């Protein structure tokens, strides 16, 4: 069995495809050859692609797999550098213990469920402000620019302690860093601008600390200013882009499934479970998560050799028919909690409770404030973010 599975090669010969046959479904070709198979990266390296839920979850929780050693090969065709932030310390997503543990311990208290619940009234206020502004402006509106981006940006910036005047600069740089087709020099310039901005903010907090995440980072023991800059960049970009795109793409998915939208409009108690189902169904982090075994490891009958690059494709794993009944159907009544959208193991998303809270509040505000919300253009006219590392829509014209 091991030998047969090891010899299988996926029909992926130039990295991950990012274009989708249908806007809400992962590329079908990714699950064509079984849960673990060979994959050729764009640079010619032959590594592994994992599309099975059980196998992916097992790898993500296995301490024999390194995150720090994994990011050697770009997963998608692009002219950009493999890792723009490779020389920036503090990006704890790409660290292993004990370095990774040091950052998680410092920040964990800022993202507890209790603290997130305490933030709920402020998030509701921010969301209501932008929903009301969209109503006053009148239809048609772009849900991305008028609602999703400003809501998520304001929430994460206030939590971290980023002044309102710096948000536009941060949003512009963040958008550039996530483009797959960006010129490498332009991407590097955007990164350096964000590093400069973050450094300035942290030095201000160092002089006058307040009750926010930036102050915790810059006054924490055993952490340098360059490390604090890297950690802040990770929290800002990840915390903003993923939630913003889930708000827009989730709304698009619901508007494209009117029966599911009607269920939510009739019973708001379904929203919490609907958020989990939308997170599973859409999985906006669509370029995968990489790991590398620190010794030979057998997973699902396949031997993964020490040092090999293993790419876990979360969107396909979240559609695994061996884990989810009828996985390609959106069903807001099920509220599946077993998805891998926030990863798993020690690298499970630090801000997942914040994201869940923002999505519950954000979708509820739309349900209440826009009972007749609809697409303002045909689906063919909606530009998808296939050219970005975080999937979603570039624009979502809506009316009511």
Q: Are strands 65-66 and 297-299 parallel, antiparallel or unpaired?
A: unpaired
SS3 272: helix
Q: What domain range includes position 62?
A: 2-399
Number of H helices, E strands in the chain: 14, 10
- Report the alpha-carbon distance of residue 365 to residue 360 in Å, rounded: 9
Please check whether residue 341 is in contact with residue 281, taking contact to mean a CB–CB distance below 8 angstroms. Answer: no
- 164: pLDDT strictly greater than 90: no
Number of domains in the chain: 1
Q: pTM of the entire structure?
A: 0.92
- Report the alpha-carbon distance of residue 221 to residue 102 in Å, rounded: 10
- Can you spell out the DSSP letters for 63-85? TTEESTTTTTS-SS--SS-S-TT
pLDDT 10s digits, 47-106: 999 999 999 999 999 999 999 887 778 888 776 555 555 567 888 888 999 999 999 999
Name 66's bridge partners. 292
pLDDT 10s digits, 11-47: 677 778 888 889 999 987 676 678 998 989 988 899 9
CATH number for the domain harbouring residue 201 = 1.10.630.10
Closest by alpha carbon to 369, among 117, 31, 66, 133? 133
Rounded to the nearest 10 degrees, what angle do helices 352-369 and 149-160 cross at?
140
Provide the 8-state DSSP code for 179: B
Rounded to the nearest 10 degrees, what angle do helices 167-177 and 225-256 cross at?
80
Residue 366, token pair as written in the block = 């739309």
Provide the 8-state DSSP code for 9: B
Confidence of residue 3 (pLDDT cuts 50, 70, 90): very low
pLDDT, residue 4, reads: 43
- Residue 178's CB is within 10 A of a number of other CB atoms, namely 18
Q: Give the angle 277-265-367 at the CA atoms, nearest 5°.
A: 85
- Residue 8's CB is within 10 A of a number of other CB atoms, namely 12
């Amino acid at each position: 069995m091991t030998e047969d599975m090891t010899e299988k090669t996926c029909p992926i010969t130039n990295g991950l495809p990012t274009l989708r046959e249908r806007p809400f479904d992962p590329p079908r070709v990714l699950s064509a050859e079984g849960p673990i198979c060979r994959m050729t990266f764009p640079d010619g390296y032959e590594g592994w692609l994992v599309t099975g839920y059980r196998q992916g979850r097992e790898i993500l929780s296995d301490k024999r797999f390194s995150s720090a050693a994994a990011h050697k090969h770009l997963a998608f065709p692009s002219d950009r550098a493999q890792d723009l932030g490779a020389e920036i310390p503090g990006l704890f997503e790409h660290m292993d213990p004990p370095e990774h543990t040091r950052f998680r311990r410092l920040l964990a208290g800022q993202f507890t469920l209790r603290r997130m619940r305490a933030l709920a009234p402020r998030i509701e206020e921010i969301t209501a402000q932008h929903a009301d502004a969209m109503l006053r402006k009148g239809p048609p509106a772009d849900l991305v620019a008028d609602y999703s981006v400003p809501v998520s940006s304001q929430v994460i910036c206030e939590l971290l302690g980023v002044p309102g005047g710096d948000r536009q600069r941060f949003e512009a740089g963040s958008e550039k860093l996530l483009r797959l087709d960006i010129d490498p020099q332009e991407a590097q310039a955007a990164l350096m601008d964000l590093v400069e901005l973050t450094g300035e903010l942290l030095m201000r907090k160092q002089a006058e600390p307040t009750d926010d995440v930036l102050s915790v980072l810059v006054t924490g023991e055993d952490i340098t200013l360059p490390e604090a800059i890297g950690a802040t960049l990770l929290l800002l970009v990840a915390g903003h882009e993923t939630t913003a795109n889930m708000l827009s793409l989730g709304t698009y998915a619901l508007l494209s499934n009117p029966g599911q939208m009607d269920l939510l409009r009739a019973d708001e108690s379904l929203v919490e479970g609907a958020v989990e189902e939308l997170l599973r169904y859409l999985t906006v982090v669509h370029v995968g998560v990489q790991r590398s075994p620190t010794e030979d490891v057998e997973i699902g009958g396949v031997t993964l050799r020490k040092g090999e690059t293993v790419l876990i494709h979360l969107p396909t794993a979240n559609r695994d028919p061996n884990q989810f009944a009828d996985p390609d159907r959106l069903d807001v009544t099920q509220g599946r909690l077993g998805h891998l959208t926030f990863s798993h193991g020690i690298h499970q998303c630090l801000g997942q409770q914040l994201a869940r809270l923002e999505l519950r509040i954000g979708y509820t505000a739309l349900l209440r404030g826009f009972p007749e919300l609809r697409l303002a253009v045909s689906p063919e006219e909606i530009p998808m973010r296939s050219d970005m590392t975080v999937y979603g829509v570039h624009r979502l014209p809506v009316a009511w």
